[in-house]
A and B are shown apart, each in its own frame.
Chain A
Amino acid sequence: MDDGSTRREFIQGAIKLGGGALVLLSGTSLAGEEHPAERYDWAAHRYAYLIDTTKCIGCGSCVRACAAENDVPDGFFRTWIERYVLSAEASHVDSPNGGKDGFPPVETGFLPTKSFFVPKMCNHCKETPCIQVCPVGASYRTKDGVVMVDGDRCIGCGYCVQACPYGSRFLSPRTHTAEKCTWCYHRVVEGLKPACVTVCPTGTRMFGDMMREDDPVRLALEHERVAVMQGHLLTEPQCFYIGLDREVR
């Protein structure tokens, strides 16, 4: 019966080894909750963004502030402003230099019956295609609801740039990796608002925390009629809009 006992030992050993390997493979840490910054509990926040397009004057302050705050390369935008000049039959949409230097008067060839500005940026979707297509786990969504790119892991394949229905990502000409709006995560963890919200002179841009009951953005989402862009894609954007038009995609 010497054979039997070694077999049992072998099986026991194999089970232990297999269990250990499973723990390793699942990659879970047995340590407690970690936090991205000191004195910042990322599980205690869930951010949302609200854009009231009826207030936007197209001054471009947000675009300039974003570029300065995040050192965005020239010609690329983490946020930008589009102008829609419309009539029942015709439309004209422009965004000269992303609206960074404001907007010039426009000659449209038709008589416009309405016109407005729409600030755009990453929608920080809950079910975002950009994370789903990333082959290396460089794109991810934090517990507090921010979609970000790990530049060290990104291989610059550009799948996410193609997958984003809102055109909010680009490949940086400096690092050749994907770059995008982070809701100014380096500011948010310090309790500040994103740069674009900080400088907006008309209150078009609002940033809020859905975990706070008295938050103005949360109250607006609860009581006002808000829309999201391309809702039919079911990406669950966390950027909400007031005053969206059917022409805006």
Chain B
Amino acid sequence: MEHARHVFRVLFVLLLALVAFVLGRTLLVPKSYGVYGPYRFDNVAEQAAARPPLHGGAASCADCHDERFKKVAAGSHRNVSCEICHGPLGRHVKDGDVVAKMAVDRSFTLCARCHRKIEGRPEKFPQVVLEQHVHQQGPSKLEGKVCLECHDPHSPKP
């Protein structure tokens, strides 16, 4: 009987340890952890709902600005989405209501981001040496809205 009591004591301690382990694990490990792998599945849903999409894409602008959209679509800037120059739709419209005016940047630096001649751009892409180009066209200086004096950004001539 003495032996049996010894075995029982050891088993009791082991059982206690097991219960503590299982209880601790249940409490500490998040519920969805391990459902599809060693990660918390709930985070996938959290990431999916992290924030509402901010950029709407050019087509979403056409919902209200159809005329402008058609004009851009017919010109050589047809692949230039509105949001590239004007910023993301989400800053302008929220839940169908206009919340702020769209940014309009008329400075030459905006045009220069794409069309200034620099090392790196594909040769066929239309680009100009800014100072030289402005100088050739007349008395204007390379400053402010100088590009818009000749070019319409929504439908520039190639």
Contacts and interface: CB of A to CB of B under 8 A. Distances in A.
Contacts of B26: 24
Interface in B117-142: 117-122, 125
A137 B55 contact: no
Contacts of B49: 37, 186
Interface residues of B, number: 48
A69 B53 contact: yes
B44 A69 contact: no
Q: Is the interface of B mostly helix, strand, loop or mixed?
A: loop
B84 A186 contact: no
A198 B57 contact: yes
Given A65-B55, A187-B53, A190-B53, A148 B120 contact: no
A42 to B, nearest CB: 7
Contact of B122 (A55, A70, A101, A139): A55
A143 interface: yes
Interface residues of A, number: 68
A240 interface: no
Interface stretch (A161-169, A199-207, A224-232): A199-207
A3 to B, nearest CB: 9
19 contacts: A25-B25, A34-B41, A40-B48, A59-B84, A59-B113, A61-B113, A65-B84, A102-B114, A106-B119, A116-B122, A140-B43, A142-B44, A150-B40, A150-B43, A185-B47, A186-B50, A186-B52, A186-B53, A201-B84
Interface of A: 17, 21, 24-29, 31, 34, 36-37, 40, 42, 54-61, 65, 68-71, 83-85, 101-106, 108, 112, 115-117, 137-143, 148, 150-153, 182, 184-187, 189-190, 192-193, 195, 198-199, 201-203
Given A27-B33, A142-B44, 13 more contacts: A27-B34, A29-B34, A37-B48, A60-B113, A61-B84, A103-B120, A105-B116, A139-B39, A140-B38, A186-B50, A186-B51, A198-B57, A199-B55
